[in-house]
């Protein structure tokens, strides 16, 4: 059960898709319930969709008909919380990934980072840490396009090519801290910010000098990420590191604040640069300026980036997830 699912491309939908892909590839049977629009099947698995909340009776009927061994909830919000309550009496084991601290206290709870587990712990919810993976076959340095990079790296005021710094994801309102930080990055001398995403703050970033590519998926996104020189993560509290993992798998260094899940994926000076959380946009832009001006140092970090993440593919992550399912399954 997931609030969003393919063809949606937000982090929750993407995690759900990769989990389904790996489960199906391993020979498991599954059915998906979601509130996002799309096809009624996914790789021959049935997908039940609704634009609003599923009626509780429909959720119980679907569970009874399919008779699952385990029900997996991915980032449950409105629909997920209702389904948790509806299915608790059925006695089917439930595994809940990244709930809110207010979710019903049922099932085996997983958190996608140590920091998320700590947040849930403050609400009295014990969570086991399970980290997502990355498709290293879809994201790799071989997809880097010199033509695309050179197209973005137009000559700067100093007469040399610009360093391409990318941002991947939703662009919030112009007043948000993340957009204000990105605007400062876009205004840096010798740097060009490339935005792979949409949102109300894109006009502000464009005015600051950013190149707005917009939403991209699949090979187009993978090629674009691999063609960056640096990826920036401007949010201090962002638990979803989907774009960060893709960048690292593509051999692209990452600059991010040393907070939350970022510290668990990025090692300062090894596969990226971590900015102290006590500092703001000035420290972020200073780190990017330093990295942009140090091509040899940036190349060394880039050479280590893929190796730092390649041991956690989605196949690895889902194999671990199945290991969590196994003890919960009813005895035959």
What is the per-residue pLDDT across 136-154, written as a single tens digit (0 to 9) for each?
A: 999 999 999 999 999 999 8
The count of structural domains within the chain is 2
Q: Are residues 120 and 95 in the same domain?
A: yes
Task: Evaluate whether residue 6 is within a structural domain.
Answer: no
pLDDT at residue 279, as a whole number: 74
Q: Domain residues for 39?
A: 11-133+314-328
- Contact yes or no for 310/136 (Cβ under 8 A): yes
For the chain, percent of residues with pLDDT exceeding 90: 73
Q: Nearest-5° angle of CA 212, CA 280, CA 134?
A: 55
State mean pLDDT over 177-184. Answer: 95
Q: Please indicate whether residue 82 or residue 164 has the higher confidence score (pLDDT).
A: 164
For the question of whether the overall pTM of this predicted structure is more than 0.85, the answer is yes
Q: Are residues 171 and 240 in the same domain?
A: yes
Give residue 182's pLDDT band: very low, low, confident or very high (50, 70, 90).
very high
State mean pLDDT over 191-198. Answer: 95
Q: How many residues are given for the chain?
A: 332
pLDDT tens profile 101-146: 888 788 999 999 998 999 999 999 999 999 999 999 999 999 999 9
Q: Is the pLDDT of residue 187 over 70?
A: yes
pLDDT at residue 161, as a whole number: 79
Task: Evaluate whether residue 199 is within a structural domain.
Answer: yes
Task: Evaluate whether residue 1 is within a structural domain.
Answer: no
Q: Are residues 191 and 286 in the same domain?
A: yes
Q: Are residues 201 and 285 in the same domain?
A: yes
Q: Residue 116 and residue 118: Cα distance in Å, rounded?
A: 5
Q: Is the pLDDT of residue 93 over 90?
A: yes
CB atoms within 10 A of CB 57: 9
- Contact yes or no for 35/4 (Cβ under 8 A): yes
Q: Strands 41-42 and 45-49, how do they pair?
A: antiparallel
Its sign, for the CA torsion 107, 110, 114, 119, is negative
Q: Residue 128 and residue 1: Cα distance in Å, rounded?
A: 19
Q: Are residues 285 and 202 in the same domain?
A: yes
Give residue 157's pLDDT band: very low, low, confident or very high (50, 70, 90).
low
Task: Evaluate whether residue 2 is within a structural domain.
Answer: no
Q: Are residues 323 and 191 in the same domain?
A: no
Q: Are residues 121 and 195 in the same domain?
A: no
Q: Are residues 151 and 297 in the same domain?
A: yes
pLDDT tens profile 278-295: 777 789 999 999 999 999
Q: Residue 193 and residue 230: Cα distance in Å, rounded?
A: 10
Task: Evaluate whether residue 3 is within a structural domain.
Answer: no
Q: Are residues 73 and 160 in the same domain?
A: no
For the chain, percent of residues with pLDDT exceeding 70: 97
Question: Average per-residue pLDDT in the chain?
Answer: 91
Give residue 90's pLDDT band: very low, low, confident or very high (50, 70, 90).
confident
Give residue 312's pLDDT band: very low, low, confident or very high (50, 70, 90).
very high
Q: What is the CATH number of the domain that holds 204?
A: 3.40.50.2000
Contacts of residue 253, defined as CB under 8 A and 6 or more positions apart, other chains included, come to: 229, 230, 231, 247, 271, 272, 273, 291, 298, 301, 302, 305
Task: Evaluate whether residue 229 is within a structural domain.
Answer: yes
Task: Evaluate whether residue 149 is within a structural domain.
Answer: yes
pLDDT tens profile 23-72: 999 999 999 999 889 999 999 999 998 877 777 888 888 888 999 999 99
Q: Are residues 297 and 151 in the same domain?
A: yes
Q: Are residues 159 and 20 in the same domain?
A: no
Tokens of 18: 């990769």
30 — alpha (psi -120 to 50), left (phi > 0) or beta?
beta
Q: Are residues 258 and 127 in the same domain?
A: no
Q: Is the pLDDT of residue 239 over 80?
A: no
Lowest mean pLDDT among 13-17, 18-22, 84-88, 222-226: 84-88
- Contact yes or no for 21/43 (Cβ under 8 A): yes
């Amino acid at each position: 059960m997931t609030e969003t699912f393919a063809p949606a491309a937000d982090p929750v939908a993407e995690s759900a898709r990769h989990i389904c892909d790996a489960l199906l590839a391993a020979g498991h049977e599954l059915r998906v319930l979601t509130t996002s629009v799309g096809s009624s099947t996914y790789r021959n698995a049935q997908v039940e969709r609704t634009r609003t909340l599923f009626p509780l009776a429909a959720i119980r009927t679907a569970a009874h008909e399919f008779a699952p061994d385990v029900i997996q909830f991915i980032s449950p919000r409105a629909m997920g919380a209702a389904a948790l309550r509806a299915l608790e009496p059925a006695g089917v084991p439930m595994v809940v990934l990244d709930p809110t601290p207010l979710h019903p206290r049922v099932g085996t709870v997983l958190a996608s980072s140590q920091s998320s587990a700590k947040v849930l712990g403050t609400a009295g919810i014990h969570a086991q840490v399970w980290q997502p993976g990355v498709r290293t076959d879809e994201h790799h340095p071989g997809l880097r396009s010199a033509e695309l990079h050179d197209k973005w790296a137009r000559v700067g005021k100093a007469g040399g090519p610009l360093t391409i710094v990318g941002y991947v994801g939703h662009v919030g309102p112009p007043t948000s801290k993340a957009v204000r930080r990105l605007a400062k990055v876009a205004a840096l001398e010798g740097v060009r910010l490339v935005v792979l995403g949409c949102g109300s703050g894109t006009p502000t970033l464009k005015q600051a000098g950013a190149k707005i590519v917009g939403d991209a998926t699949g090979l187009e996104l993978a090629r674009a990420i691999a063609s960056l020189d640096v990826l920036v993560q401007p949010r201090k509290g962002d638990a979803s590191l989907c774009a960060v993992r893709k960048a690292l798998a593509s051999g692209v260094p990452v600059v991010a604040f040393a907070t939350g899940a970022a510290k668990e994926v990025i090692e300062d000076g090894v596969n990226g640069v971590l900015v102290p959380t006590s500092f703001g946009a000035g420290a972020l832009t200073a780190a990017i300026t330093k990295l942009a001006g140090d091509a040899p140092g940036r190349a060394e970090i880039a050479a280590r980036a893929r190796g730092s993440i390649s041991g956690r593919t989605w196949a690895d992550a889902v194999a671990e997830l199945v290991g969590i399912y196994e003890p919960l399954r009813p005895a035959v």
